[in-house]
Amino acid sequence: MLYPLKFKPIYKTKVWGGDKIRRIKNDSKVPENCGESWEISGVQDDVSVVANGFLAGNTLQEIIEVYLEEVVGDKVLEEYGYEFPILLKIIDAKENLSVQVHPDDETAAELHNARGKTEAWYILEADKDAKIIDGFNRDTTEAELLQSIQDGNLENLLKYQNVKTGEFYFIPAGRVHGMCAGTAVVEIQETSDITYRIYDYNRGNRELHTQYAVDVIDYKKNEKNPVDFNRIPDHSNQIVKCKYFTANYLPVMNSLLKDYSATDSFVIYHCVHGQVNVKTANGEEILNEGETILIPACIDEVVLIPIKYSELLEIYMDLDESQPRKYDEYDLDALQRQHKGTTNNTDSSTKYKC
């Protein structure tokens, strides 16, 4: 019988990495200059390995190959096969990340035999005056973008957004973006490692991919973000729902029964604050701050028992959505109006890296 699964984090050192992940996870094994902790991954050559229970030592892909829809759900298995569809990371930017963009599914499949990358960020920590880059501050063009890169004044086109802990940002494929120094986030994304860098702060030894980027960029001014959402205790407060993932904010003050019998999907919990006992009929695990756990699709009921007040991200797939939409079709404005007006009752062949 399947049970709540924990995985060994995959730590990635980066030129821009810092020490926040070590502190967040309270783990002395986190290396110096750690920029990313891959919490759950189905990316080729970086597939997560189970850390607990009788399946310890098996990869996530191996478990899906054996248990099939019991792990991921019928519709997810039908669409994604043995590939786990979500990559969940913690990212720490001690220095600026590159200014970058990701292709959509169609372009990624054509050029790299891979999936595109729509993603979202939950701001875990933000130093004073911390910012992110979130699209353009006005409508622009390919020619103007290339000229600004050549002239060294790209920042004049970029939308710099001050960020605060607890905010949520949705970054669809095609939007130019970047984390700036002093931010740490939980990143929810498609299973993809395709990134096109267009500017890297003159670090010199890292490849740029401007020739690919210009064909996938959304050149319109971005007036969206951060995403507004409710914060009702002991309730799944929907933040964003798209073809690629549904993400909810779940503050746990009291013992809480979650019924997933109508959810044809696995569920991921990531603890952004506190400590909670995750209990099912087949086993239980303590979920500490900075940790992630996977609830297989065959588990219908989960009891969350807070050891202290806790805040979770609750993530799953809803493939009742229509076919994948392009980045300009996500109606986050409508979703935000819904949050403000009502209470939500939602119980490669070639790789380019950031």
Task: Clarify whether residues 205 and 245 are in a common domain.
Answer: no
pLDDT tens-place string over residues 90-134: 999 999 999 999 999 999 999 999 999 999 999 999 999 999 999
List the structure tokens of 152: 């060294």
Question: Which of 205, 124, 216, 136 has the alpha carbon at shortest distance from 166?
Answer: 124
Domain carrying residue 91:
10-213
Q: Are residues 198 and 252 in the same domain?
A: no
pLDDT score recorded for residue 353: 33
The residue ranking higher by pLDDT, 201 or 321, is 201
Q: Distance between CA atoms of 99 and 107, rounded to whole angstroms? A: 19
Q: Which of 213, 229, 245 is the last residue of a domain?
A: 213
207 and 256 housed in the same domain: no
**What is the 3-state secondary structure of 93-149?**
ECCCCCEEECCCHHHHHHHHCCCCCCEEEEEEEECCCCEEEEEECCCCCHHHHHHHH
Question: What is the rounded distance in angstroms from the CA atom of residue 168 to the CA atom of residue 187?
Answer: 10
Residues 78 and 182 in one domain: yes
What percent of the chain has pLDDT above 90?
Answer: 87
State whether 291 and 179 are in the same domain.
no
Do 27 and 107 fall within a single domain? yes
Instruction: Please enumerate in sequence order all residues whose Cβ is within 8 A of that of 61, keeping only pairs 6 or more positions apart, or say none.
Output: 42, 47, 82, 83, 84
What does the pLDDT read at residue 70?
Answer: 98
pTM for the whole thing? 0.89
More confident residue, 206 or 234: 234
Task: Flag whether 229 is in a domain.
Answer: no
pLDDT range class, residue 347, cuts 50, 70, 90? very low
Same domain, 165 and 34: yes
Q: Are residues 63 and 153 in the same domain?
A: yes
Domain count, the chain: 2
Cα(11)–Cα(36) distance, rounded to whole angstroms? 6
pLDDT of residue 173 exceeding 80, the answer is: yes
Q: Are residues 19 and 112 in the same domain?
A: yes
Q: What does the mean pLDDT of the chain come to?
A: 91
Task: pLDDT band for 206, please (50, 70, 90 cuts).
Answer: confident
Q: What's the confidence (pLDDT) of residue 205?
A: 78
Is the pLDDT reported for residue 352 higher than 80? no
Clarify whether residues 205 and 241 are in a common domain. Answer: no
CATH code of the domain containing 297: 2.60.120.10
Q: What pLDDT score was predicted for residue 317?
A: 97
Residue 228 lies in a domain: no
Residue of higher predicted confidence among 79 and 323:
79
Contact, 165 vs 124, CB < 8 A?
yes
Flag whether 224 is in a domain: no
